[in-house]
Amino acid sequence: MQNQISRRLFLKNTALASAGVAVAGTAWGSTSNNKELFKLSVAEWSVNPLIFGDARKDGWEKFMQLLKNDFGAIEKAAPMKNIDFPKFIREVGCEGAEYVNTCMYDKAQNTKYLNELNNVCRGEGITNVLIMVDAEGMVGAPEKKDRLQTLENHKKWIDAAARLGCHSVRVNAGSQGSYEEQQKLAADGLHLLCEYGDKNGINILVENHGGFSSNGKWLSKVMEMVNHRRIGTLPDFGNFRTSYEPEEWYDRYLGMKELMPYAKGVSAKSQEFDENGEEVHSDYHQIMRIVMEAGYRGFVGIEYEGEQLTPKEGVLATKRLLEKCHKELTKDFKA
C-alpha cells in the first residue's frame, strides 16, 4: 500500500536519524531544556515472532498445548529467548522491559532463572517495568470458584514480578454476561488480585484488550468499582475493537481520555507507518498529548504488531515517532 512505509524507505530514514541520535539511547537530550517527559520501554509482544518462531504454524489450539506442556521445545526452536530480551531493548535504545508471561511460560517459579534475568538486566542497564499475563484464566468468570482459581493462577506471576523489581502486572478483564454483569464480575476478580498484589507491592493493571474492556466507559467504571490503591489501567493506543462480528470499534481518542486518569502504564501500539513515519491507525501526536494532559510521566511501552517491518525495525520506527512527539510536547508540558 502507498501509505505504508517500505523497508527501503525505513532503512534510509534510520540511517539519516542515526547521524544525530545514538542507537543505544533516546533523543531526549536534544529537546528544549533537556526535559524528560517519559521514558521508553519495549513490550515483549513486539518480538513474539522471534520468541515463538514456527510454534503457531499448526494453529492456536496446538500452540497453547505446546506452550503449557512443552515450552522447552518452543525455546529450543526459536531464534530468540526471553533471556535475550534485555539485550534487544538496549540495542534499540530503550530503557524498560515489559515482559509477556507466555514468552517465559515455565519460568514463573524458577528463582534461579529470575535471578539470572535480573543480572542480565543490570548488565544491560534495563529497568523491569511489568509482566503482561495471559492464558491464566478468566478474571471475571461467572462462577466464584473459577475467579478464585484465576487468582491462584496469577499469584505466581505477581510473585515473579516482585522478584524482578517490576511495579505491575497487566491482566485481562475478561468476563461473560451483560454489560453490567461483566462489570461486577470483573471488579470482583480484580479486587481479589489487588489484595494479593498489595502484599507484594505489585499493581494490577487492566489493558483495553477486547470485548467490553475495549470500551473506555465500561473499563473506567470497573476501576471505580474495584476501588483499590493497586488497581490501574494500561491504556493501549490501538486496542479499542469491541467486537469482531460485527466489527465494531470504540473511539480510541475518547477511550484514551477515559482510561488515562487510572493509568499506571501506557502501551504505544503500532502496526503500519506512512512515508513520513507516522502511524497509520493512531495519531500519536494527539494521543501523547492526551497522555501528558492526564499528568502521566512514566514509561511508554512500544508494542509493534505490524508485518511490513521486522520486529527491530518496527520498534525503531515507533521509537522515532515517540521521540518526535516528545520534542513537540516539551514546549507545552513539564517533566
Which pLDDT tens digit goes with each residue over 176-186? 999 999 999 99
Could you count the other beta carbons within 10 Å of the beta carbon of residue 36?
13
Helix (H, G, I), strand (E, B) or coil at 288: helix
Percent of the chain residues topping a pLDDT of 70: 90
In a domain, 50, yes or no: yes
Say which residue, 184 or 32, is predicted with more confidence: 184
pLDDT digits (tens, 9 = 90+) for 237-295: 999 999 999 999 999 999 999 999 999 999 999 999 999 999 999 999 999 999 999 99
In a domain, 17, yes or no: yes
What is the distance, to the nearest Å, from the Cα of residue 89 to the centroid of all Cα atoms in its chain? 14
Distance separating alpha carbons of residues 144 and 217, to the nearest angstrom: 25
pLDDT of residue 132: 99
In a domain, 72, yes or no: yes
Confidence check: pLDDT of 146 > 80:
yes
Q: What is the CA radius of gyration of the chain?
A: 19
pLDDT digits (tens, 9 = 90+) for 189-238: 999 999 999 999 999 999 999 999 999 999 999 999 999 999 999 999 99
In a domain, 240, yes or no: yes
pLDDT of residue 35: 79
Q: Whole-prediction pTM value?
A: 0.92
Percent of the chain residues topping a pLDDT of 90: 90
Give the pLDDT band of residue 7 (cuts 50, 70, 90): low
In a domain, 267, yes or no: yes
In a domain, 36, yes or no: yes
pLDDT digits (tens, 9 = 90+) for 98-141: 999 999 999 999 999 999 999 999 999 999 999 999 999 999 99
Give the pLDDT band of residue 30 (cuts 50, 70, 90): very low
Could you count the other beta carbons within 10 Å of the beta carbon of residue 145?
8
CB 236 within 8 A of CB 208: yes
pLDDT of residue 25: 53
Which letter, b or e, does each residue of 198-228 get, where b requires 16 or more Cβ atoms within 10 Å of its Cβ?
eebebbbbbbbbbbbbbbbebbbbbbebbeb
Confidence check: pLDDT of 23 > 60:
no
Q: Which of 130, 117, 121 is nearest to 45 (CA)?
A: 130
In a domain, 335, yes or no: no
Confidence check: pLDDT of 32 > 60:
no
In a domain, 221, yes or no: yes
pLDDT of residue 21: 35
Beta bridge partners of 302: 42, 268
User: Dihedral (C-alpha) 310, 271, 298, 251: value to the nearest 10 degrees?
Assistant: -170
Give the pLDDT band of residue 8 (cuts 50, 70, 90): low
Q: What are phi and psi of 26, to 5 degrees?
A: -80, 170
CATH number at residue 274: 3.20.20.150
- The domain in which residue 61 lies consists of 7-329
Give me the number of domains the chain comprises: 1
Mean pLDDT, the chain, whole residue set: 93
Confidence check: pLDDT of 26 > 70:
no
